[in-house]
Structure 1
Amino acid sequence: MSQLLDWISQPWPWYVAGPLIALVMFSMLFFGKSFGLSANLRTMCSILGAGRSCDFFDFNWRDQMWNLVFAAGLVLGGLISYLYLGNDQAAHISETTITELQAFGIENPGENVVPKEIFNWENLLSVQGIIFMVVGGFLVGFGTRYAGGCTSGHAISGLSDLQPASLLAVVGFFIGGLVMTYFILPHLLVM
């Protein structure tokens, strides 16, 4: 049992994870389903009755129950991974990245999943915390709605379905990520 847990807790190689993702996507295409996590918010709003006042939420949410089960599985899987499969190893990041992050005041880059200097309860009510959590959260929600889906929906499902809009959205995600990483984030980290 210990060997099985050791094997499961390690990152799976691309030649295992990639074909599994492809198999899931082919089966979803075969059954006429599309994948995307942001669709779950629309489904939950519809379940709660938002369709009575907004046409966007007026659809048969029962057809999307499988997607809610999938999202619940993600949460449960994350909890199981954290409680039983996690390890205390630091993330492997390059020396250049460590040096750059330390210059921004992050003491031990890679020690935790997220830097504790940024993501902590004390920082939440600071200007930096409000920008990261409130403004960032709003922009993610707005961008998801404006793009017609989230990164997982466009990058996995939309590209598998050969949708040109998904290709454009994924290119936009990467450009936005690069702009954020190199031009905006350094200014936010020194606040």
Structure 2
Amino acid sequence: MSILEIIQEPWPWYVAGPLIGLTVPILLIIGNKSFGISSSLRHICAACIPANISFFKYDWKKESWNLFFVLGIFLGGVIAAYFLSNPNDVKITPELSQQLSSYGITDHSGLVPSQLFSWESLSTLRGFIMIVVGGFLVGFGTRYAGGCTSGHAIMGLSNLQWPSLVATICFMIGGFVMSLLILPYILSL
């Protein structure tokens, strides 16, 4: 098996988990930095908006490494999509395929169903709720919670932060409520 084939396949938890976990001590040892993605939006706003808003009045240049980190994630995603993509369909269980088909989602060829996430679906009520309203709620929620799942669940829990434990539990409860109660209703629209 070549290295390219290894990269294209899903990695087992016992490899991916420690690699993600090693991010925390590496960031702390190298530069006393905290891992998190959602704060980069604040840094971009502080750099680009010359407003007199107290939330954006800080030295964002000290956090510019975070912007390069996010840029690296974006470029890595582009490189992976164009050069490392797996041509095979996503493997899902027959039960999930049947459940998705009951909501009219029959295309399982991509990482996300094109019937839900595409420019055409944006003009539908279901697509607008999932893409625009969902994006707003995620963006607002991460700032209101003081960080996203990567900041709280990876960085905060490894530093034994009580607020991060509470936030992570709330993220899990919110995910269960969304997937079991709210998402089926939205998909039936």
| Range into which the TM-score falls when normalised by the shorter chain | over 0.9
Give the SS at the match of 1:17: helix
- Match of 1:124, as an amino acid? L
- Aligned partner of 1:81 in structure 2 is 80
Q: Percent identity?
A: 48
1:180 is aligned, of 174, 178, 181, to 178
Tell me the equivalent position of 2:134. 136
Moved over 4 A (4+): none
Give the TM-score normalised by structure 1: 0.91
Shift of 1:3: 2.0
* CA drift at 1:13: 2.5
Distance 1:38 1:57 in 2: 14
TM-score, normalization by structure 2: 0.92
Distance (whole Å) between structure 1 residues aligned to residue 70 and residue 78 of structure 2: 13
Q: Is the 8 A contact 1:38 1:149 kept in 2?
A: yes
2-structure distance, mates of 1:12, 1:56: 40
Partner of 1:44: 44
Q: Deviations over 1:141-160 (max 9, x none)?
A: 11111101111111111111
Q: Secondary structure at the match of 2:2?
A: helix
Tell me how far apart the structure 2 counterparts of residues 138 and 22 of structure 1 sit (CA, whole Å). Answer: 29
Contact 1:29–1:161 (8 Å) recurs in 2: no
Unaligned runs of 5+ in 2: none
Which segment is superposed worse, 38-47 or 93-102? Answer: 93-102
The reply on whether 1:122 has 2:120 as its aligned counterpart is: yes
The CA deviation at 1:168 is 0.7
- What is the distance in 2 between the residues matched to 1:19 and 1:118? 33
What displacement does 1:39 show? 0.8
| Equivalences, count | 188
Q: Which amino acid aligns with 1:147?
A: A
* Equivalent residues of 1:151, 1:173 under 8 A apart: yes
Other structure's SS at 2:66 match: helix
Deviation of 1:120 (Å):
2.0
Deviation at 1:161, TM superposition (A): 1.3
CA RMSD between the two structures: 1.6
Task: Indicate conservation of the 8 Å contact 2:157/2:165, yes or no.
Answer: yes
Tell me the CA shift for residue 140 of structure 1.
0.9
Counterpart for residue 35 of structure 1: 35
Q: Report the equivalent of 2:15.
A: 16
Q: Which amino acid aligns with 1:129?
A: G
